Amino acid sequence: MSVFQEPKIDCHAHVFDPARFPYGKDIDYKPSGQEIGTPPQFDTVMKTYGVSHALLVQPNSGYGSDNSCMLDTIARGNGRFKGVAIVALDADLAALRALKAQGIVGAAFNPTFHGSDYYKRSAALIGKLAELDMFLQIQSEHDQLSMFVPWIEATPVRVLIDHCGRPTPDAGLRQPGFQALLRLAGTGRVSVKLSGYWKFSNMPYPFEDTWPFVRAIVDAFTLDHCMWASDWPFLRAPRRQDYGPLVELAGVLFPDPAQRRKLFCDTARRLFGFGDGHV
C-alpha cells in the first residue's frame, strides 16, 4: 500500500471560512488567498490523502478566541473532527464542560504568539483541564517550554506539544527548551506532534536539519506518544508548502509500515477516541 493510501488522522489543521464566519475586526492577521481553508476544501484534501479524521486547532489568526467556525465544522463533521479551542485563562468549569460536549478535547496555549508572560497565571486553568481530563496543548519555540514544565509535572494534565516543540536547529539537541521537552516523556502524559518542520527549520523541504530532533523525540516518547499532523493550510509559510510532500516525508522518516500505523492513526485514535474501527 502506498503511503498516500495508508489510513491517517491529521492531528493539527485549521479551518477558515470568512464568507460564512467573518474574521474578527480586532484580529491583526487575516488569512487570504491560498491561506484560506474552508471545510469543503479540507474535505477534498482528506479524501485525496486517506485522512479519515482530524484534530482541528483554533487559530489565533483570523478568529482568535471566537471558536465558532471550528465548532460548526465539528458539528457538521459526522464524527470525523474533534477540536482544540482557545479559551480565556479564567474560564470556569462550566464553560470548559460546554466546549467538551461540543467535541473540544483541550485548550491551546501559544506563547509563540502571545509571549510567555501572558501565561504566568495559567496554573488554575491547567488544573481545570486536568479535572475534566482535557488536554493542554502548547505551541512554544526555542526555550519557551521550560516555563511550563513545573506545572506539567505537578498537575496530572494530559499535554500535547505542537510541532516538535519548535527547537532551534543551530543550538543542537542539548538546548534547554528541547531538553525540557524530552524530560516530560517521563510523565507518561505528554504526546508530541511530529509536524510544522518549516516553522523551525533553516532548510527547505525535506527539512533535514529537523530530523535529529524527530529521532530524539521518538526515542524519548516512543511512537505511542507521537502523532502526525500537517498544519494545513500552512499560514504564514515562508516557502510554499503542500500536503502531499508532508505525507511522503513521513514515509522517508518512518519506512516501517507498522511504525507509520502508530504515527498516522493508532496513537491519535487512542488519545482522542476517534472512529473506533474506522481507521
What tens digit of pLDDT does each residue of 89-144 get?
999 999 999 999 999 999 999 999 999 899 999 999 999 999 999 999 999 999 99
Give residue 279's pLDDT. Answer: 42
What is the distance, to the nearest Å, from the Cα of residue 83 to the centroid of all Cα atoms in its chain? Answer: 10
Task: Say which CATH number the domain at 152 has.
Answer: 3.20.20.140
pLDDT at 105: 98
Sequence-distant (≥ 6) Cβ neighbours of residue 146 within 8 angstroms:
176, 177, 180
In a domain, 111, yes or no: yes
Report phi then psi at 106, rounded to 5.
Answer: -175, 180
Distance CA 177, CA 41 (A): 36
Number of domains the chain contains: 1
How many whole angstroms separate alpha carbon 57 and alpha carbon 105?
10
Mean pLDDT over 54-72 rounds to 97
Whether 239 maps to a domain, the answer reads yes
**Could you tell me if residue 279 is inside a domain?**
no
Phi, psi dihedral angles at 96 (to 5 degrees): -65, -40
- 3 in any annotated domain: no
Strands (E), the chain: 8-13, 51-57, 81-85, 104-109, 135-138, 158-161, 190-194, 226-228
This prediction has a pTM of 0.96
Q: Per-residue pLDDT for 276 more than 80?
A: no
Confirm whether 277 is domain-assigned: no
Establish if 204 belongs to a structural domain. Answer: yes
**Structural domain boundaries enclosing 82:** 8-272
Q: Is residue 37 part of a domain?
A: yes
CA distance linking residue 215 with residue 209, whole number of Å: 11
Q: Is residue 278 part of a domain?
A: no
In degrees rounded to 5, what are phi and psi of residue 49? Answer: -110, 15
